[in-house]
A = this chain, B = another copy of it.
Amino acid sequence: MADTYLADTQGHGTIVMTVRQDVHSAGIPVLCQSCEARHRGVCGALDADQLVGLAKISSKHTIEPGVELIGDAETVDSYSNVLSGVVKLTKSLSDGRQQIVGLQFAPDFLGRPFKVESAINAEAATAVSLCSFPRASIERMMRESPELEHRLLKQTLNELDEARDWMVTLGRKTAAEKVASFLLMIARNIDPTLDPATNATSFELPLTRADIADFLGLTIETVSRQLTRLRTDGLIRTENNRHVTVTSLTRLAGRSGA
């Protein structure tokens, strides 16, 4: 059975939420059209009443590339779902050296529960649209709904796995392997249907050379040189520095094994 709710909410205009009440126990993610976030977003964890309540307190934003969402040591007063675009999470040393410690793609949840101060910066890498909720509301909901915490635990565990994968890349891979791994990761995030055998696809790079360098622990010159090498070796093709077509980078990216 599928119930349909109508709610007039700020920022969304009149929205239609289709809530399938039977899917909860089956473990199938609930579709939340109010924020278009699925799978990993928070909405899937809530029942119909909560969804209506959430829609009423949520608000949609669009953010220009380069705008800071959460500053280091700033108080965080809201949580958000990323609806589109890419958000980069950065940390920096006092002398300005910077490291990107995470990228958040479409249905990811943005925010660090149980900590008032953020230890990292969040910045829009591309144009980003967000669906934000007041901190207090999410935290109350978390206390009331164990399913929401369960969701968050799963996403956090995934982010931990990703962070640890990147530690291997940062600590043990060569510049060439780093760039190849990066392109592969972006490809997998932008085109989830990517064939794991051929690994051939085509996409717009969401990051500048400077961002890629900050992500891989390299300089922009090294990133540029490695990209030209991949181009001359025939492993990638590029138009206008942003659009990339990758073919078989898997071997170069360095497989992890026993």
Contacts and interface: CB of A to CB of B under 8 A. Distances in A.
Contacts of A103: none
Given A73-B258, A149-B146, A216 B171 contact: yes
Contact of A97 (B160, B163, B172): B172
A171 to B, nearest CB: 3
A168 interface: yes
Nearest to A102: B164
A78 interface: no
Nearest to A258: B72
Contact of A167 (B71, B119, B170): B170
Interface stretch (A12-20, A46-54, A150-158, A228-236): A150-158
A40 interface: no
When all copies of this chain in the complex are counted, the total is 2
A113 to B, nearest CB: 7
Interface residues on A, range: 35 or more
A120 B161 CA distance: 9
Given A72-B257, A256-B92, A99 B172 contact: yes
A52 B120 CA distance: 41
Given A113-B153, A153-B156, A167 B168 contact: no
Contacts of A161: 119
Contacts of A172: 93, 97-99, 217
A146 B92 CA distance: 36
B255 A94 contact: yes
Interface centre among A73, A98, A168 (most CB of B within 10 A): A168
A101 interface: yes
Interface in A180-239: 216-217
A95 B170 CA distance: 16
A42 B90 CA distance: 31
A99 B163 CA distance: 13
8 contacts: A92-B168, A92-B256, A93-B168, A114-B154, A149-B149, A153-B153, A163-B167, A170-B217
Given A72-B257, A101-B164, A171-B217, 10 more contacts: A71-B258, A93-B255, A93-B256, A94-B254, A99-B172, A101-B167, A102-B164, A152-B153, A163-B167, A172-B217
Interface of A: 71-73, 89, 91-95, 97-99, 101-102, 112-115, 119-120, 146, 149-150, 152-154, 156-157, 159-161, 163-168, 170-173, 216-217, 254-258
